[in-house]
A and B are shown apart, each in its own frame.
Chain A
Amino acid sequence: MAYDARRDCPQLPDFSVLKRLARDQLIYLLEQLPGKKDLFIEADLMSPLDRIANLSTLKQHEVDKLYKVEYKPIISTSDQLCFLIRPRIKTVKWICGKYIKALVLLTDVTTDEWAFYLLPLDDDIISLELPEFFRDNFLAGDQRWVRTAGSALHLLHSIYGPFSKIYGIGRCSKVTQVYIKKHNAYYDTNTGRRGRKQRSPDVDFVTPLCSQVVYEGLVDDTFRIKCGCVEFGPEVTSSDKSVKVMLNSQDKVFNEIRNEHFSNVFNFLSQKAKNLQMAYDKRRGMDIKQMKTFVSEELKGLKQEHRLLSLHISASESIMKKKTKQDFQEMLKTEHSLLEGFEIRECTSFIEEHIIRQLSMIESLRLLCLLSLTENGDFYGMNHLLTFANLKRLGLLVEQQPGETLTVMESKVGKLVNDKTAGKLTDAFSSLAKKSNFRALSRKLNLVPKSDEEYNLRVPRDMAYIFSGAYIPLSCKLIEQVLERDGWTGLEDATKLLNGHEFCATGTNGADVKGKSDAPRIVLVMFLGGCTFSEISALRFLGKEKGYKFIVVTTAITNSSRLIEALLDSHM
């Protein structure tokens, strides 16, 4: 792929400032409680916290012991306890009720807010680490996190300068816009030249439901990337230990393959392996001086590369094995047919078979949702709830293949899902289906490229490569269009299908935005409700083609299983 196709790409701002800021504030809060204290951390804050501070930071500020918040009685010997939690009713109740009533001498209880909004996961990815945004906001209609999203934007604004233009679509982004407007009115603006675009995914469920085939997405689907860190199990490390690896642009090997379609990854890796071999071979026939230079200058880099390479090769191998087991090829074919809208009968029977043989419940649900989304209104679609419910019942009540690890859990969840989630999903999707119509939309925006020519994945011609040429994520297409048109003009047909709520606002310095040559080149894209690695890859591709730098701000990184799991009823 052509890297840095355009020279005029601006540099990305340094987001490590965000980490420093969050750390400083955490330290400030810890200092508010002088003396030794035990720190209780909520489970889902642990990984983000680890990215920001480390144990010695905490120890320096007299944190004695660390605990996980677990809704169980607390046994602590410290006379100061500090709780680091998300504002959730359940947690607060637990702390107030169980703990304060039951134990421990305390002289004072104070509450403070740790204004931790943004966790930079990479040079161009910033996450709010709020996976529940999706469920709370889109399923329950609870707006509690909207302010958080607004504050996050505000933080960016105050550190990196104002946004010059703002485009947005979706109900939720409009809500957030209220905050932006206020900031803009209030803030003195000076230098910022930054376009910002924001959308909420109540407009696109299709993208996260498709299997990802870009390397980073596949790693996420297969191993689950958590806060930019992935744990490779024994099957990858070929030892009995697991390894945690940071996946970001610092990893040279990963950086080169993360956005590639999986089919290119093998070649790339084997080429890399050959080069590495050659680099090592160079030292044969070196004299001592050369050898010395080699050891001091090159060897370390080579060794590092070597380790990364062998890790990614093993990971690819493991992905390959897993996917082969799952009939992945058939699955992809089905997904692609669904996207294109042909051979729906075959797809349905594939899904049915998938269900009858009780493969993975999540996968079945995923395919069903995809089917109903893409075929909305058609013979097999959402309007045939009975078929849908029947299929579901079939699937969820099927005997599991013995020996599968999930068996027990699945059959338990299965019953629940049959009723509850079915209802939930149906609600979520049917309300969506009424508003949007995938076929019409994909025709309007040309989301599914014409199928008469072959798609060369080695030299991708558009963003569709991230789904093997089958589909361009709606979000990415919209971003492309809006940037091209500098607004929503001409997209009215599409936005109508998306239930409108689009807006475009010019920052206070918008008046003096100079000529076209000076148009914003750094684009901040905010996904409310989450985005997938595939979408990020697509945006990186778009950026390279058009000379933009995209910064992705998302409430969380999502994928199909996270999406569906969020709708399962386990945590209610």
Chain B
Amino acid sequence: MTRTDEEEYWNSSKFKAFTFDDDEDELSTLQESKRAVDSISGLVGGDEDEDQVEIVGWGGEPVDSIVWSVRETAASTNQRPERESTPQTNTGPSQKSRSQSVYSLSSLFRGDVIVLIFSESSALSDSTTGRLFAPELRKPKSEYKEEWVRRVNCVCVCFQVVSLEKFRSLQEKLLLLDYSVKANDGNVITAVLIFLKKTLSKEILFQELQSRQTALRHFINFLYETEESGLLLELLRSLGRTEDAALLQYKEHQSISDESRRRDFLKSCLRPVNPIGFLSHLLERQIIMERGGKVEIFQKVPRKSSILNMPLVTTVYYACVYHYNEAEGTLSSPHNLRQTFRISEKQFFVTALAARAKLKAWSDVDALFFSRNWLGPNRKKTTNSAPPKVLQDYVGLVDDAQLRLSLAHKHKCHDIVINTYRDLKDRQLLLGYRTKVEVGSEADSRISQLLDNPKYWKEGGAYL
């Protein structure tokens, strides 16, 4: 950003005095201090690495760190350092079957759960149970077992919560649920929901959950986590949440690897969600494009990857690279894509420009510019790889002097900067700019020439 540019910005806004843009002053202060600090290190000598300060070791992790010593289970056999090469035993199949039958985890959960839930709910009215909330660190295990079971209720979700089965009638079960919700403990709610899921018919459960939003949200989240998408889908449909249901199905489809099957699946999905219908169209086009295209271009610009399952604009970009000049009627032509998917003019322009500029098809780029009359910041990106001459032409077309200057600065179009300063009659800036061009270069001599020629500076006399 140039100074003038900056000033203009700051005048229109109250936020003062700092810019993250190419501000050379700030950056150079910083680099200066860096040099200063670096130069000190010469004085200090090379023993720096001895004192550890607050730094957790310069080689990465401190030697005593836990993270550092953790190995990843999968790779553990390969990565295990030799010094710890303990012999591997115990993994034979005989042990497998043995351990399976030895114990059942549900035996851990005896009758405690009910008691706990009730003490939980009664805690709402009776503050004496506050005792439950006092964890005592050094209590012997037997003493805090009760509390412990309650706290790790979450653990019990994958086991059978046998004890709850004393609740037989629907009314009792629902009461249990309501109490658990009132107790505000998510783990208990989940535990009760698991019990209800096991003991109630889907229809009744779904219906009762409808009037219990907190429990419902817990249940949905639980099904998500346990990946019971079949049941979840049913639940969502019964609630009339078709959109969520479609999204869930959509998520499922991510795991289908075969393209044609995936397309068919998308087609079969529910319609209410627009994007899904849209995706199936898109995939259809991509399958066509994947097969077509002229060999020469592929040789010239090899593809990085297949176009299948790519986003829409990537597809358009791809079409602009490999199918640019195809007739509009062709399904793989970019113009056809543009119409079918109703891509905005600006979007299409930027994408096509990027693609054609990448191929260095400057005539197409010219055509795009002149047909659209699009001038402005979009240029910044697209002109990246253009040769200086082309770049200069484009930058020269920018109407706004400030913008033109900043672009020219960025792309080092010396002539434009020089001419602009000349037109602005700003001798100071031109003098300043001289330090940025190579000494003895063409630009340098032009600046000297201009500076020596008084006719340019007469009216702006302030600096003379």
Q: A179-B133, A241-B60 are in contact. List 16 more A-B contacts (CB 8 A).
A: A50-B67, A66-B71, A75-B73, A89-B158, A136-B221, A242-B60, A246-B54, A273-B37, A308-B54, A313-B34, A316-B30, A320-B27, A356-B350, A402-B304, A457-B17, A572-B251
Q: Does B95 have its Cβ within 8 Å of any Cβ on chain A?
A: yes
- Knowing A141-B218, A270-B32, A277-B36 are in contact, say whether A353-B54 is a contact too (CB < 8 A): no
A-B contact pairs, 7 of them (CB 8 A): A89-B158, A147-B184, A246-B56, A263-B17, A280-B44, A308-B53, A399-B316
* Cα–Cα, bound, A161→B27 (Å): 49
Given contacts A56-B64, A109-B103, A179-B133, whether A141 and B221 have CB atoms under 8 Å apart is yes
| Distance, CA A420 to CA B250, complexed state (A) | 8
Q: Which residues on the B side are within 8 Å of A398 (C-beta)?
A: 311, 313-314, 347, 351
B 359-381 to A, binary, CB cutoff 8 A, 1 in contact else 0? 00000000000000000011001
Residues on B with beta carbons closer than 8 Å to the beta carbon of A150: 133
A336 located at the interface, meaning its Cβ lies under 8 Å from any Cβ of chain B in the complex: yes
Q: Are A451 and B14 in contact (CB under 8 A)?
A: yes
Interface of A is mostly: helix
Selected from B27, B105, B128, B220, the residue in CB contact (under 8 A) with A140 is B220
A67 at the interface (CB under 8 A from B): yes
Once A143-B184, A273-B37 are accepted as A-B contacts, the answer to whether A399 and B313 lie under 8 Å apart by CB is yes
- The answer to whether residues A105 and B152 also contact, given A147-B184, A411-B311 and a CB cut-off of 8 A, is no
Name A123-141 residues within 8 Å CB distance of B: 136, 140-141
- Given A75-B73, A246-B55, A419-B275, decide whether A329 and B34 contact each other with a Cβ distance below 8 A: no
A505 neighbours in B (Cβ, 8 Å): none
Q: How far is the CB of A404 from chain B (nearest CB, A)?
A: 12
Smallest beta-carbon distance A365→chain B, Å: 15
* B70 partner, pick from A68, A79, A411, A470, beta carbons under 8 A: A68
A115 and B135 form a contact (CB under 8 A): yes
In angstroms, Cα B218 to Cα A510, docked, is 37
A569 in complex: contacting residue of B9, B189, B251, CB < 8 Å:
B251
B79 to chain A, nearest CB (A): 11
Q: Are B20 and A415 in contact (CB under 8 A)?
A: no
Q: A89-B225, A115-B135 are in contact. Are A269 and B30 (CB under 8 A)?
A: yes
Closest A residue by C-beta to B108: A111
The total number of A-B Cβ pairs within 8 Å is 379
Which residues of the partner chain B approach A158 to less than 8 Å between Cβ atoms? Answer: 134
State whether A329 and B21 are in contact (beta carbons under 8 Å apart), knowing that A79-B90, A92-B157 are contacts in the complex: yes
Find out whether the CB atom of B64 lies under 8 angstroms from the CB atom of A411: no
Chain B contacts to A: CB under 8 angstroms: 1, 9, 13-22, 26-27, 29-34, 36-38, 40-41, 43-44, 48, 51, 53-62, 64-74, 76-77, 84, 86-91, 95-96, 98-100, 102-103, 105, 108, 123-124, 127-128, 130-131, 133-135, 137-138, 141, 148, 151-152, 154-155, 157-159, 184-187, 189-190, 213-214, 217-218, 220-222, 224-226, 243-244, 247, 250-251, 254, 273-276, 279, 304, 309-318, 344, 346-347, 350-351, 354-355, 377-378, 381
A contact residues around B9 at 8 Å (CB): 333
Is B37 a contact of A306 with CB atoms below 8 Å?
Answer: yes
Q: When the two chains form their complex, are residues B37 and A143 in contact, meaning their CB atoms are under 8 A apart?
A: no
Is B15 touching A66 in the complex (CB atoms < 8 A)?
A: no
A105 to chain B, nearest CB (A): 6
**A344 on interface, CB distance cutoff 8 Å:** no
B37 and A309 within 8 A (CB): yes
CB–CB A420/B279 < 8 A: no
Which residues from B are CB-within-8-Å of A179? 133
On whether the beta carbons of A336 and B37 are closer than 8 Å, the reply is no
Q: Indicate if the CB atoms of B137 and A77 lie closer than 8 Å.
A: no
Chain A residue contacts of B21, Cβ below 8 A? 324, 327-329
Beyond A244-B61, A329-B21, whether A21 also contacts B154 by CB under 8 A is no
Among the listed stretches A41-49, A474-482, A551-559, which one makes contact with chain B, having 4 or more residues with CB under 8 Å of it? A41-49
Answer whether A70 and B74 are a contact pair too, CB < 8 Å, given A115-B135, A415-B279.
yes
Inter-subunit contact A68/B72 (CB<8 Å): yes
Closest B residue to A310 by beta carbon equals B37
Q: Which residues of B contact A47 (CB under 8 A)?
A: 67
A69 in the interface, Cβ–Cβ < 8 Å? yes
Q: Which of A180-188, A439-447, A531-539 contacts B (4 or more CB under 8 A)?
A: A180-188
Say yes or no: A70-B64 contact (C-beta < 8 A), given A77-B88, A103-B99, A418-B275.
no
Complex alpha-carbon distance, A111 and B13, angstroms: 60
Bound Cα distance from A519 to B377, whole angstroms: 56
In the A-B complex, the 10 residue pairs with the closest CB atoms: A144-B186, A397-B311, A141-B217, A263-B18, A186-B130, A143-B186, A399-B317, A397-B312, A87-B154, A270-B33
Q: Are B135 and A151 in contact (CB under 8 A)?
A: yes
Report A-chain residues with C-beta under 8 Å of the C-beta of B312: 393, 397
Contact status A113-B152, CB under 8 Å: yes
Judged by a CB distance under 8 angstroms, whether A12 is at the interface is no
Secondary structure dominating the interface of B: helix
B2 to chain A minimum Cβ distance, whole angstroms, is 13
Chain A residues with CB below 8 A from B344, complex form? 394
Whether a CB of chain B sits under 8 angstroms from the CB of A160 is no
Q: Which residues of A contact B187 (CB under 8 A)?
A: 87, 144, 147
Whole-angstrom distance between the Cβ of B256 and the nearest chain A Cβ:
13
Pick from B76, B77, B131, B377 the residue with the most CB of A within 10 Å.
B76
**Cα distance, A451 to B17, chains bound together (Å):** 15
B29 and A266 contacting across the interface, CB-CB below 8 Å: yes
Any B CB within 8 A of the CB of A296? no
Closest to B384 in A: A401
Please tell me if A435 contacts chain B, counting CB pairs below 8 Å.
Answer: no
Contact (Cβ within 8 A) B1 A329: yes
Give CA–CA (A246, B27) in the complex, Å.
26
CB < 8 Å neighbour of A266 from B26, B98, B127: B26
B254 near A41: Cβ-Cβ < 8 Å: no
Q: Does A6 contact B (CB under 8 A)?
A: no
Interface contact A50-B65, CB-CB below 8 Å:
yes
Q: How far is the CB of A238 from chain B (nearest CB, A)?
A: 9
Chain B CB within 8 A of A489 CB? no
> From residue A72, how far is it (CB to closest CB) to chain B in Å?
4
- Taken together as a complex, chains A and B put the C-alpha atoms of A70 and B71 apart, in Å, by 10
Q: A261-B18, A453-B14 are known contacts. Are A394 and B347 too (CB-CB below 8 A)? A: yes
Neighbour of A144 across the interface among B29, B61, B154, CB < 8 A = B154
Task: Let me know if A399 and B354 touch, CB within 8 A.
Answer: yes
Q: B149 to nearest A CB, angstroms? A: 9
